[in-house]
Amino acid sequence: MPAILEVNGLNKSYKDSSFSLDDVSLTIPYGSIVGFIGENGAGKSTTMGSILGTLRVDSGSVQLFGRDVDHKNKTEKEDIGVVFDDLKLPKRLTVKKLNRVLNHVYKNWSEETFFYYVDFFQLSKGKAVGHFSRGMSMKLSVAVALSHQAKLLILDEATAGLDPTGRVELLEVLQTFVQDQDRGILMSSHITSDIEKIADQLVFIKGGKIRLSVSKQELLNEYVVARLSKEEVQQLTKTTIIAKKADGDHIEVLLTNRSEVSEGQLIQNRSIDDISLLLMRGDV
Amino acid sequence: MIGLLLNQYYSVSKTILSYAVAAFVLVLVAIGIGNELLVFFAMYMPIIFLVSPAFEVLKHESQSGWNKFVLTLPVHRGNIVQSQYVFFLFLTSIGIVITVMAFVVAEWVFGSAMNQELMYTMMTGIGIAFIMGGISYPATYVFGTEKSDTIVLVATLSGVGLFLLAQQGFARLIEQMTVETIASMNASLVFNGSFLLIGLVFFVISYFVTLGIYNRKEY
């Protein structure tokens, strides 16, 4: 069975910036939530924009449901729900008017689903969208993304601005979205604890390049972070080193193989946040 | 397309209503005063007033980020540009209706207000509006919505300037004609009709130019 989304060798450069996407590839299998992790300016939004067609790529391919994406194809867009890092909905419209607009835009728009989520997230139907708080705006954007029978959700910092309760609610909704194994989510977030909670696959990006693509299970169960001396690092098998970062006289190393180091050298209880920091700040 | 039009309408519905009321009252006042020049401008004003919310929409869409989100919706880029030009035509129509309504009311209140000459003048108003739209849409996509107010001002002045230029040109053309030729044609209809046609052609060309610009835009 092909993946919901397959991105292969995306390259994208800008005329007025030295930043570029460099051979970015990632896959979203059916039924999975892929966490897309990187610092500000790492290339997460550029990758998402390239997938969605808001940006034009220099080269590379994007396949949706096993077929090359054609950004001129309206039907494909019916299947993709999008939430950007801030509200991108018309600010003067009320929720009711927004429903009327989108009802005419999406063939599969479900008023019932939309108002279910509007009620679930306790959003006011008669208030202009522009008067919503950031958290409410994000919830409304998620309600929109979930109301047209999308099979793929692309969420760019969707949990930003939500209070803890709101984040828990949203994460539960997202887990329910993929539970039937026929849908998938690509989700970027600065709050790695959110990603740690719900993602199955993790993709780390730095400076426009994918640094690591791995299942969460494999990363947490098999990969290890060790604190070693320079001499000990030199004795490691090079191919097992994912990232290393100087820490005083020692070096912190992310390794794919636990057997390379002793129990005493391991840093215990490292979170995805710690690993992410090592990947983003360290080098290979 | 209907969804996109609805969105534009909802975004500026209050502005449309207030402009429509203001234009209606101003036309009545102008006719009431009875100054020939004022009545002449009263034929243009509602149309030019009423099309300006179309550019306000572009600003709202940019400020809210909708101009990026809309690209993720199941619509073609062409549909987005089309909806903007159709919305502009819709507002032009409202401007025409308001003008006619105001003149009909003026007929009742002040007696004979509307005449054929003034109807022809309205054609020029529509022509100026087309030139405004024809310049403003592509220019806003090229220079950005931050400069939208300046663009609309320049576009309006360009429309009026072109009208004055065309008037001069037509006057010279008339001078070259024989008395019989002039007598045999309705000069006012020919001039105003031609100006409307030129405006319309410019507007249609502008649509394709804007489409080309928009197809290359990144958000």
Interface predicted TM-score (ipTM): 0.88
Residues of B in contact with A107 (CB under 8 A): 74
CA angle A197, A198, A201 (to 5 degrees): 110
A100: nearest CA partner in chain B: B3
Per-residue pLDDT, B87:
97
Per-residue pLDDT, A107:
95
**Gap from B74 CA to chain A (nearest CA, Å):** 4
Per-residue pLDDT, A122:
92
Per-residue pLDDT, B204:
97
pLDDT tens digits, A48-72:
999 999 999 999 999 999 899 988 8
Which domains does chain A carry?
5-217 (3.40.50.300), 222-281 (no CATH)
Single-letter amino acid code for the residue at A142: V
pLDDT greater than 70 at residue A96: yes
Per-residue pLDDT, A238:
82
C-beta atoms of A87 and B6 within 8 A? no
What is the span of the domain harbouring residue B74?
A: 2-216
Residues of A in contact with B76 (CB under 8 A): 72, 74
The full DSSP string for A4-69 is SEEEEEEEEE-TT-S-EEEEEEEEE-TT-EEEEE--TTSSHHHHHHHHHTSS--SEEEEEETTEE-
What angle separates helix B77-110 from helix B187-216, to the nearest 10 degrees? 150
Check if the beta carbon of residue B68 is closer than 8 Å to that of residue B34. Answer: no
Q: Which residues of B119-147 are buried (b: 16+ CB within 10 A; e: fewer)?
A: bbbbbbbbbbbbbbbbbbbbbbbeeebee
Could you give the number of structural domains in chain B?
Answer: 1
Nearest to A77 among B3, B12, B73 (CB): B73
Which one of A82, A88, A152, A156 would you mutate to disrupt binding with B, by most B Cβ within 10 Å of its Cβ?
A88
Task: Return d(Cα B109, Cα B163) in angstroms, integer.
Answer: 31
A41 conformational bin, left if phi > 0, alpha if psi -120 to 50, beta if neither: left
Identify the CA nearest to B10 among candidates A227, A119, A101, A31: A101
B73 conformational bin, left if phi > 0, alpha if psi -120 to 50, beta if neither: beta
Nearest to B71 among A54, A86, A91 (CB): A54
C-beta atoms of A90 and B68 within 8 A? no
Which one of B72, B77, B86, B211 would you mutate to disrupt binding with A, by most A Cβ within 10 Å of its Cβ?
B72
Residues of A in contact with B69 (CB under 8 A): 82, 84, 88-89
**pLDDT above 70 coverage of chain A, percent:** 100
Check if the beta carbon of residue A187 is closer than 8 Å to that of residue A158. Answer: yes
pLDDT tens digits, A4-20:
999 999 999 998 899 99
The full DSSP string for A70-116 is -TT-HHHHHTEEEE-SS--S-TTSBHHHHHHHHHHH-TT--HHHHHH
Task: Return d(Cα A19, Cα A71) in angstroms, integer.
Answer: 24
Per-residue pLDDT, B113:
63
C-beta atoms of B74 and A130 within 8 A? no
Nearest to A102 among B3, B11, B12 (CB): B3
Please report which confidence band the pLDDT of residue A34 belongs to, taking 50, 70 and 90 as the band edges: very high
Per-residue pLDDT, B112:
65
Please report which confidence band the pLDDT of residue A74 belongs to, taking 50, 70 and 90 as the band edges: confident
Per-residue pLDDT of chain B (219 residues; tens, 9 = 90+): 899 999 999 999 999 999 999 999 998 898 888 888 888 888 888 999 899 999 999 999 999 999 999 999 999 999 999 999 999 999 999 999 999 998 889 888 888 666 778 788 889 999 999 999 999 999 999 999 999 999 999 999 999 999 999 989 988 988 888 888 877 888 888 899 999 999 999 999 999 999 999 999 999
Count of C-beta atoms within a 10 Å radius of residue A284: 10
Mean pLDDT for all residues in chain A: 91
Q: B interface toward A at CB cutoff 8 Å?
A: 2-4, 6-7, 10-12, 60-61, 63-66, 68-69, 71-77, 216, 218-219
Mean pLDDT for all residues in chain B: 91
pTM of the predicted protein model: 0.89
Q: What is the DSSP letter of A267?
A: P
Per-residue pLDDT, A1:
62
Residue B60: strand, helix, or coil: helix
Task: Return d(Cα A66, Cα A151) in angstroms, integer.
Answer: 13
Identify the CA nearest to A186 among candidates A280, A92, A83: A83
Residues of B in contact with A102 (CB under 8 A): 3
